[in-house]
Structure 1
Amino acid sequence: MTAGFGWALGQIVAINLVLSGDNAVVIAAAAQRLDPLRRRSAVLWGSVGAVVLRIGLTFVAASLLHLPWVQTIGGIFLLAMGYRLVVPAVSAETHNAQVEGYWAAIRLILIADVIMSLDNVLTLAAVAQGDERLLIFGLVTSLPFVVVGSALLARLLDKYPFLMRVGGALLGQVGGQMILTDPLWHGVALLRRDWVVLSFSLLCAGVIATARRR
């Protein structure tokens, strides 16, 4: 192992520690309403599936993010998912609802994780500099960080249910930011200002965090 390879490896592990936090929050929130056994299973298989999808996504992420509408559509998806976390449509009172909720949680984990990981994947790709071994290692090693972090956060959500709104707000913030950083809006000077992007993303986070069932 060369010094350069070892340095890049260390960078990737550090990046995973920093960037996996947001994903762990969302995964824990998505699975929180399931019973403990189903929750662990949903977190594990949702995370494994998300890593597999990330590996495939790596080879197209750079070009995707430069296409108009991609980030806008992804941002809208995240806003909708944030709302679903805060205002769940599925009741957990019956066994059938639990089964439906289990698969709904896995779907939510997969989609939200992949959308939120676009920038993460690009960051890892930049560090790997075309070395597929490093890139795949970086994506695979993100799995334990996310799974362990999600399990710990799920326990906190049991104790402090209001933290579910934090997960929803996080999706809202990332979704709002993705929408306004879409190349689609690059011709609109006002929307490119940092304070506008920040204000809009915080507004989206606030709206979702305070959402109520009608």
Structure 2
Amino acid sequence: MELFSVEFFQALVSIIIIDLVLAGDNAIVIGLAARNLPKDKQKPAIIWGTVGAIVIRAVATLAVVWLLKIPGLLLAGGLLLIWIAYKLLVEEKDHEDVKASQSMMGAIQTIIIADAVMGLDNVLAIAGAAHSHYLLVILGLLISVPIIIWGSTVILRLIERYPMIIYIGAGVLAWTAGKMIVDEPFVKEFFEGDPLIKYGLEILIILGVLLAGWTTKRRKQTAQN
């Protein structure tokens, strides 16, 4: 992938969308962890907790980008990402298990640990969308993390008001999964020989995830009513 090419910016936009959709409620965890601190300590705790979380996430993502170069792992990562995209549509998240700390160090520790645990799906998705390009990972984090931290409430309200945003995010995830699968060295030559099959599989994965997610969610809503 050439630097600042159409494909480069396409991947960058995908990373930003993935980050915003998957990490929107990670920022809520940050607020919950610091909610019992005195007002003058909340901001420093959030800043340092976020810095620690970003560093860990960046290192983890770069490591996964490197690992995805190992034959077979790109295919496995793509299949796992399909499941993550499906779960994004059907799972309802809550943060009841996030404990608010009484000390600043405790709050910082909670923020870092909670983000690391909740951010595993983000790491795989971003690594897959980056197509082995480390600069894309860094740029994606630099652009999206400030938006997540300061705009999390707005993001979550928009998602609640316009559920279609979740479907767009899941579609991008499914598309990323499809690209990971067709780029797997074991099968890449087969797909390059017939672009129709390559793009057809990517479209089939996107439609399959969206349809499965929509059907499952509708069944849940019907059962609740």
Aligned residue in 2 for 1:47: 54
Give the aligned partner of residue 120 of structure 1: 129
Match of 1:69, SS state, is helix
Q: 1:105 to 1:83 in 2, by over 3 A?
A: farther
Classify 1:164/1:40 alpha carbon distance in 2 versus 1 (closer, same or farther; 3 Å). farther
Change (3 A) 1:209 1:57: same
| Partners of 2:147 and 2:217 in 1: CA distance | 22
**Aligned residues with identical type, % of pairs:** 7
Name the SS of the counterpart of 1:62 in structure 2.
Answer: coil
* Secondary structure of the corresponding residue to residue 57 of structure 1: helix
Q: CA deviation at 1:166?
A: 5.8
Matched with 2:96 is: 91
One-letter code of the match for 1:112? D
- Point out the more displaced range, 197-206 or 10-19: 10-19
Q: Does 1:21 align with 2:21?
A: no
Of 53, 62, 70, 1:63 maps to 70
Residue 42 of structure 2 aligns with which residue? none
Match of 1:198 among 194, 206, 210: 206
The AA in structure 1 aligned to 2:28 is Q
Matches within 5 A, 1:118-157: 118-122=127-131, 124=133, 135=134, 137-157=135-155
Listed one character per residue, the Cα deviations across residues 95-138 of structure 1 (whole Å, up to 9, x for unaligned) are 48xx89854444112x12211113333162xxxxxxxxxx4x55
Q: Is the CA contact 2:178–2:202 (under 8 Å) kept in the aligned structure 1? A: no
Quote the RMSD (CA, aligned, Å): 4.6
Which TM-score applies when normalising by structure 2? 0.57
Cα distance change on mapping 1:207 and 1:48 into 2, 3 Å: farther
Q: Which residue is equivalent to 1:107? A: 117
Counterparts in 2 of 1:195 and 1:17: CA distance versus 1, 3 Å: closer
For 1:130, the equivalent position in structure 2 comes to: none
What secondary structure sits across from 2:208 in the alignment?
Answer: helix
TM-score between the two structures when normalised by the length of structure 1: 0.59
Cα distance in structure 1, aligned partners of 2:164 and 2:116: 19
How far is 1:153 from its partner? Answer: 3.3
* 1:158-178 CA-partner distances (Å, limit 9, x unpaired): 655616956754554355442
1:65–1:41 distance in 2 versus 1, CA, 3 Å: farther
Q: CA deviation at 1:15?
A: 6.3
Find the aligned partners of 2:136 and 2:74 in 1 and give their Cα distance: 25
Is 2:23–2:148's contact at 8 Å kept on the other side of the alignment? yes
Number of matched residues? Answer: 189
Counterpart amino acid of residue 62 in structure 2: I
Mapped contact 1:190–1:196 kept (Cα < 8 A): no
Secondary structure of the residue that 1:91 maps to in structure 2? coil
